[in-house]
Amino acid sequence: MSVKSILLFAVGLSLSLALHAQHWQKIHTVKDICEAYPAYMQALLDELNLNYAGLEKVKEANEKGDVEKACTELLLFYKNGHTAQFLRREQPAITNKTEALADTVLNNVFVIQNVRGQVPYGVDGHRDWYYKGPNNDWEWAWLSNRHSQISSVLTTYFETGNPKYAEYIDLFLRDFIIKSMPYPGVKSSNSIWRGLEVAARIKIWSRIFYGLLNSEYLSPSTQLLMLASLPEHAHYNRYFHAQNNWLTMEISALATFATNFPEFKNSAEWLDYSIETMTESMRGQVYPDGAQTELTVHYHNVALKNFELLKIICDRANKPMPEFYTNTLKNMYSYTAHVVRPDGCRVLNNDGDCGSDLEFIISGAKMFDQPDWEYIATNGKTGTKPADGPSYFYPWAGHLVSRSDFDKNAHWSFFDVGPWGSGHQHNDKLHISISAFGRDLLVDAGRFAYTGEVAEKFRPYAKGTQGHNSVLIDGKGQMPDVGVVDEPLTEIHYKITSEFDYAWNSFDKYFDIEDVKHTRSMMYVRDEFWIVVDKIDTDKPRKIETLWHWHPRCAVEVENGIVSTKNETGNLKVIPLETKDWQITEIEGQEEPDIQGWYSVEYNKYEPNLATIYSTQIQADESFVWVLLPSEKEAPEVNASILSKNADGVTLEVVSKEKGKWRIEIPYANSAKAKLEFKNE
């Protein structure tokens, strides 16, 4: 489809739209649609490879100029054909069963990212496809145009057999496609023609078209409108796609169209383009250790699912994939499996939601015959115990995931010493999250929202250092940094042994201040405790604020300078090892003068949580040492003290009456010097 043909078609279509805007609901038959939109139906026929096996009668009618006959034969081609057999479904027995959630959709009440809104109608009878929801949020408008709502209604139709659900889908699609005309043929960011929404619709419409192909409730007019609009969607994803994880969604949709509708002229070419483009993109957006360059576990999985979808599509079409592609998929799954929390949920970092990765990891384990991934995800209930671990470091991502074991009550932490990321970044380097004994303890703030009222209020906090377990200097947080790196962190940055894990890095770019650097070293003593060492290098006196953010379900108290949780199960103590004249502030759900003490487990969901902030003034270079002591119930009695400090690091002693004595050397910046000695006394 050339730009010139798009423009010429758009002129003719605009005239047709003006004539038929008021009675589009009454267009049901092949005759109706061909009379209402003859140019659009001819454009559909022009997009087909009429020499494709099975389209002989379509070609004959088209050559005679009989558009209605050609469109009738085209629908018979699909009904009697064999394309996309995996999507074709037997129609359910008719019932009057209903499902409450689907019924809300039938009232045009859509729940988008946890926000409920009712889409209004315009004077032309069409829904307002630009409606941004009750929070005036562009994300609401964009996501409602991905049509996940009718995907769920389709599922309900097959579960209940109630015709009203299929009839709603029919009218919904006819409404949308006619209102979306004419296809602009240019890159857009509006809620109808944006790449992610276009890509999602290709995938969902494919399921609807073939799933309802033999249903009397998806009218011939709607079927033909879908067939005319889908190649426009594919054209958009082919010529106006973005990069990074957007590309994976858009190009996997292009391949979806190419293989589900191989009878279109461009399908074979677009499938080849999909493989080439996705492979090249994979080289650019996935590090050799398997982490996607945005370094947001949520979006890592989005990219992975779409990379995987292309492989599934090509396997189904007997189209070979490059070995590099398959190997990288495996590496990406390995990363997801190794960083997962003991409860099966993904890491909450950068712009992510805290959802379960359990089934996702299990499916990857079966695909690549990796029972050790399944063992991690299921806490050893199924699968095979890994020969490595339980802790893992990803040197390109700079992510250290520490564990005591793989059981559901294991200690777990996520320590970020890597680059900023190529997208969806937060200014949160050197942040640490911790869970233990089945409970989240120290947490990342989450993402809140991208646009709209929630974002206006909380977005700076979500992205800022102030929402993370890191350090503010003179009240200032970190600035953006290097997005993508050309080489991994070397072993000087990390060490994993049977007894402990260690990692470190530094950061020196803060808003409005210069000549200051924060270096954080973290050691996890396996099955015992964490030690965090913060070193501040400065050219003048500074105010230092060390932030610890607690999960909202944690009961927290401060006593004698020590912050402790008092949960029934799963606890943590934050113990500063030196008296630094700390001023401890507890903030929960604060809105003024600054946002502090809020937590977002997923998009558009948020609630207050407690932040405990240790503040002090330093006159020159200084370091601070923290022991983070987990316990299932009441914390054991532990005495910790600093034995010495020098230019290289800190030596400390931790004594437990129940277990013995640890002598620990924690370098500021050299893994080779990290040491641990234990005596059972």
Tell me whether strands 583-588 and 399-403 are parallel, antiparallel or unpaired: unpaired
> Do residues 394 and 378 both lie within one domain?
no
Mean of all residue pLDDT scores within the chain:
94
Does the pLDDT value for residue 15 go beyond 70?
A: no
Q: Cβ(654)–Cβ(664) under 8 Å?
A: yes
pLDDT for residue 51? 97
Q: What is the pLDDT of residues 523-572, one digit of tens each?
A: 999 999 999 999 999 999 999 999 999 999 999 999 999 999 999 999 99
Whole-number Å distance between alpha carbons of 562 and 516: 27
> Is 551 found in the same domain as 513?
yes
Where would I find the beta strands (DSSP E) of 419-515? 432-436, 439-442, 471-473, 494-496, 500-507
Tell me, yes or no, whether 242 lies in a domain: no
- φ/ψ of 599, rounded to 5, equals -140, 135
Residue type, 118: Q
268-283 mean pLDDT:
96
For residue 490, being part of any structural domain is answered with yes
pLDDT at position 132 is 94
Element containing residue 172 per DSSP (H, E): helix 163-180
Cβ–Cβ under 8 Å, residues 519 and 666: no
Residue 118: in which H helix or E strand, if any?
A: strand 115-118
**Is residue 244 a part of any domain in this protein?**
no
Question: Does residue 669 lie within any of the structural domains?
Answer: no
Based on the fold, state whether residues 342 and 267 are members of the same structural domain: yes
E-state strands within 301-460: 392-394, 399-403, 412-416, 432-436, 439-442
CA distance 551 to 588: 11
pLDDT in tens, 475-511: 999 999 999 999 999 999 999 999 999 999 999 999 9
**Same domain, residue pair 360 and 475:** no
Q: Tell me: do 300 and 274 sit in the same domain.
A: yes
Whether residue 3 is predicted with pLDDT greater than 50 in this model: the reply is no
How far apart, in whole angstroms, are the C-alpha atoms of residue 279 and residue 321?
9
Final residue of a domain: which of 388, 422, 440? 388
Half-sphere exposure of residue 52, counting CA atoms within 13 Å on the CB side? 22
Q: What does the pLDDT look like over 194-224, one tens digit per residue?
A: 999 999 999 999 999 999 999 999 999 999 9
Dump pLDDT digits (tens) for 435-469. Answer: 999 999 999 999 999 998 999 999 999 999 999 99
- Give the pLDDT score at 24: 86
Report yes or no on 50 lying in a domain. Answer: no
Q: Identify whether 130 is part of a domain.
A: no
Residues 375, 409, single domain; the answer is no
pLDDT per residue over 27-67, tens digit each? 999 999 999 999 999 999 999 999 999 999 999 999 999 99
pLDDT of res. 117:
95
- Decide if pLDDT at 314 tops 50: yes
Indicate whether 334 and 403 sit together in one domain. no
pLDDT in tens, 377-420: 999 999 999 999 999 999 999 999 999 999 999 999 999 999 99
Q: What is the pLDDT of residue 151?
A: 97
> Does 181 fall in a domain?
no
Question: What is the structure's pLDDT at 542?
Answer: 97
Q: How confident is the model at residue 23 (pLDDT cuts 50, 70, 90)?
A: confident
Decide which of 596, 612, 635 is a domain's last residue.
635
Nearest-angstrom CA–CA distance, 206 and 343: 35
For residue 552, what is the domain's CATH number? 2.70.98.70
Q: 372, 388, 404 — which closes off a domain? A: 388
Q: Residue 19 pLDDT more than 50?
A: no
Report the SS3 class of residue 659.
Answer: coil
- Residue 395 shares a structural domain with residue 347: no
Q: What is the pLDDT of residue 7?
A: 44
For the segment 256-280, the average pLDDT, to the nearest whole number, is: 97
Identity of residue 117? G
User: How many domains is the chain built from?
Assistant: 2
Q: Which domain holds residue 447?
A: 390-635
366/399 same-domain check:
no
Residue 131 lies in a domain: no
358 and 468 both lie in a single domain: no
Q: How many CB atoms lie within 10 A of CB 136?
A: 13
Distances (CA, A) of 517 to 281, 464, 482, 650, 669: 35, 17, 16, 18, 13
In this structure, the answer to whether residues 400 and 357 fall within a common structural domain is no
Say whether both 319 and 410 belong to one domain.
no
What pLDDT is recorded for position 17?
A: 46
pLDDT digits 0-9 by tens, 92-132: 999 999 999 999 999 999 999 889 999 999 988 899 999 99
- pLDDT of 11 over the 90 cut: no
Nearest one of 31, 73, 30 to 52, comparing CA atoms: 73
pLDDT-based confidence at residue 245 (cuts at 50, 70, 90): confident
pLDDT > 90? residue 12: no
Digit-coded pLDDT (tens) for 318-369: 999 999 999 999 999 999 999 999 999 999 999 999 999 999 999 999 999 9
